[in-house]
């Protein structure tokens, strides 16, 4: 369809069609005609993929590619069960894919080349239509392979929040904020920035008897950090009143790094993981969140002052990963105080504290998945194997519709990986030997030399991609495609 087939509508119409879909003045594109057949009706949302500048802080301006000239992209908010139409306009020179992370959508609209979704062509457009389900904190992002090009895919600003509201939201909060954790200006480095990844106190059930002594390849690092589009201190603070309850939707939109965040002087009550309510909400000092994951927390504002919410690693926080939380009529300097367990060096993130003790129905099948690294050497890139083989694993991973599967993730590498399955979610059964139940996720961190076991019911027919959510790991083989028989 050519541009002259579209008409430019007035701003009021565009706002009614979907918040955040405003094109910049003077642009020739617009929404599709409203007077056509039903499939030509106006979209609920429009996303424009285009190069943009982001002012992370005064005099710190970076160039990236984003959605609708915003980082994060516009908040896409919808009702559970709603039929949603999103028009994506690609004003770049390369094909793009927009993936709806955490939604149960068919492979043709999941935004994944390997599943057969058609691309949004360069300087073209594509309409995505799907039913919004399940309710909870979801997100959308580029699912394009980047390989050595650190200006593509998840390395860019192509990410945004997608909220699916349940019919009955108890709304037990006074304020709601969306916080995406990010790095910028990625580069290849011999230093793995994720220094806390391998905790020597972890059980490491998958540690090989003889260590692999081959030198590692280059990993992705970054000098600049932000929450949303601002470095610590550069953006507006979150302004709160004593006694308020603030709902924070945390998202790790990083291409490469696991983050641990704390709010000085406050506890964070975790109520949902990957958008799914947890059976046992818990108040914690620190939240660990890996690329792809979401953590919803409620914070009771019961300690007046001006505080820093940020990465517990000083280097990351001082390079921008933080923001200020300011109580009304408090004007002192923002304060960071390390959470007590960190100061005592005995902190570990443990999903299972949010679960319950329960037995799981016996699975129909168990699928073992062994993950190994092929070290790339000092000037190369690590490659990844699943069950000893590189991607694609011909017909190896097969689901039968309606059956219950137990997936055993065996991480035989020396770093942690956030493992994500598309179009489905799983229930955590066991993590490094600790049993649990009731925690529903779509992305799970499997610690270095660790093991996670998850159950899922094969309920969403079609090709289903599984991968590590670190862009470089995915691009270099940490990926598998499940088929339905
Ligand atoms: Cu990985």
Q: Could you write out the DSSP letters of every residue in 172-192?
A: --SEEEEEEEEEES-EEESS-
Q: How far is the CA of 345 from the centre of ligand 1 (A)?
A: 25
Task: Tell me phi and psi for residue 484, to 5 degrees.
Answer: -95, 135
* pLDDT at res. 341: 75
**pLDDT per position as a tens digit, 242-265:** 999 999 999 999 999 999 999 999
CA 467 to ligand 1 centroid distance, Å: 8
pLDDT average, residue stretch 284-307 = 97
Taking 70 as the threshold, does the pLDDT of residue 429 lie above it? yes
Residues with CB under 5 A from ligand 1 (ion): 417, 468, 470, 473
Q: Which band of pLDDT confidence, cut at 50, 70 and 90, is reported for residue 30?
A: very low
Distance, CA 447 to ligand 1 centroid (Å)?
10
- Answer with the residue of higher pLDDT: 90 or 201: 90
- 452 CA distance to ligand 1 middle (Å): 14
| pLDDT beyond 70 at 271 | yes
Q: Give the C-alpha separation, 64 to 184, whole Å.
A: 9
**Is residue 273 helix, strand or coil?**
strand
What is the tens place of the pLDDT at every residue in 298-342? 999 999 999 999 999 999 999 999 999 999 999 999 999 999 877
Residue 398 reports pLDDT greater than 60? yes
Mind listing the pLDDT tens digit for each residue in 44-91?
A: 999 999 999 999 999 999 999 999 999 999 999 999 999 999 999 999
Q: Are strands 98-101 and 440-441 parallel, antiparallel or unpaired?
A: unpaired
Confidence (pLDDT) at 192: 67
The pLDDT assigned to 39 comes to 56
Alpha-carbon span 97 to 121, nearest angstrom: 9
**pLDDT surpassing 90 at residue 41:** no
CA distance 298 to 389: 43
Residue 155, preceding peptide bond in cis (omega within 30° of 0): no
Greater model confidence, 396 or 457:
457
Tell me, what's the pLDDT at 23? 37
Q: How far apart are CA 154 and CA 144, in angstroms?
A: 8
Higher-confidence position of 331 and 33:
331
CA of 247 to the centre of ligand 1 (A): 29
Residue 40 has pLDDT above 70, yes or no: no
What is the mean pLDDT of the segment spanning 390-397? Answer: 88
Spacing, Cα 94 to ligand 1 middle (Å): 25
Confidence of residue 34 (pLDDT cuts 50, 70, 90): very low
Q: What share of the chain is helix, strand, coil (3-state, %, to 5)?
A: 10, 40, 50
Query: How many Å lie between the centroid of ligand 1 and the Cα of residue 251?
Result: 17
What is the whole-number distance in angstroms between the Cα of residue 110 and the centre of ligand 1?
21
Backbone phi, psi, residue 182, to 5°:
-150, 160
Q: By three-state DSSP, how is residue 387 classified?
A: coil
Strand partners, 373: 384
CA distances (Å), origin 431, targets 246, 272, 420, 436, 444: 30, 18, 16, 8, 10
pLDDT of residue 169: 76
How would residue 195 be classed by pLDDT, with cut points 50, 70 and 90?
low
How many other C-beta atoms lie within 10 A of the C-beta of residue 156?
A: 27
């Amino acid at each position: 369809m050519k541009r002259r087939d579209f008409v430019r509508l007035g701003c009021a119409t565009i706002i009614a069609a979907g918040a955040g879909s405003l094109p910049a003045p003077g642009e020739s594109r617009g929404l599709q005609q409203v007077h056509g057949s039903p499939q030509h009706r106006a979209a609920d949302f429009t996303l424009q993929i285009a190069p943009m500048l982001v002012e992370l802080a005064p005099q710190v301006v970076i160039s990236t590619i984003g959605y609708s000239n915003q980082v994060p992209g516009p908040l896409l908010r919808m009702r559970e069960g709603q039929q949603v139409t999103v028009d994506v306009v690609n004003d770049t020179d390369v094909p793009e894919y927009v993936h709806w992370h955490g939604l149960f959508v068919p492979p043709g609209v999941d935004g994944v080349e390997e599943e057969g979704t058609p691309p949004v062509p360069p300087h073209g457009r594509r309409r995505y239509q799907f039913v919004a389900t399940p309710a909870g904190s979801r997100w959308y992002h580029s699912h394009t392979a980047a390989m050595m090009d650190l200006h593509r895919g998840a390395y860019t600003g192509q990410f945004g929040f997608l909220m699916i509201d349940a019919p009955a939201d108890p709304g037990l909060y006074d304020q709601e904020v969306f916080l995406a954790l990010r790095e910028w200006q990625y580069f290849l480095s011999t230093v793995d920035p994720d220094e806390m990844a391998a905790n020597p106190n972890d059980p490491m059930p998958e540690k090989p008897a003889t260590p692999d002594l081959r030198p590692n390849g280059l990993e992705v690092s970054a000098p600049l950090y932000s929450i949303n589009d601002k470095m610590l201190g550069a953006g507006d603070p979150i302004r709160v009143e004593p006694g308020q309850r603030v709902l924070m939707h945390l998202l790790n939109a990083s291409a490469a790094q696991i983050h641990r965040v704390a709010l000085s002087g406050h506890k964070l009550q975790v109520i949902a993981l990957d958008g799914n309510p947890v059976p046992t909400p818990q108040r914690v000092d620190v939240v660990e969140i890996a690329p792809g994951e979401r953590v919803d927390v409620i914070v009771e504002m019961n300690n007046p002052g001006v505080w820093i919410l940020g990465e517990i690693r000083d280097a990351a926080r001082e390079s921008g990963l933080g923001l200020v939380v300011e109580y009304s009529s408090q004007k002192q300097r923002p304060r960071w105080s390390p959470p007590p367990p960190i100061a005592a060096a005995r902190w570990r993130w443990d999903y299972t504290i949010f679960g319950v003790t329960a037995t799981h129905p016996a699975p129909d099948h168990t699928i073992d998945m062994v993950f190994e690294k092929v070290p790339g050497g000092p000037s190369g890139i690590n490659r990844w194997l699943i069950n000893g083989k590189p991607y694609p694993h011909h017909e190896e991973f097969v689901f039968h519709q309606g059956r219950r599967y137990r997936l055993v993730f065996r991480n035989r590498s020396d770093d942690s990986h956030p493992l994500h399955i598309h179009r489905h979610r799983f229930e955590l059964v066991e993590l490094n030997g600790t049993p649990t139940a009731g925690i529903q996720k779509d992305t799970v961190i499997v610690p270095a030399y660790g093991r996670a076991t998850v159950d899922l019911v094969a309920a969403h027919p079609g090709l289903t991609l599984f991968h590590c959510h670190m862009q470089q790991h995915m691009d270099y083989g940490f990926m598998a495609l499940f088929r339905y028989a």
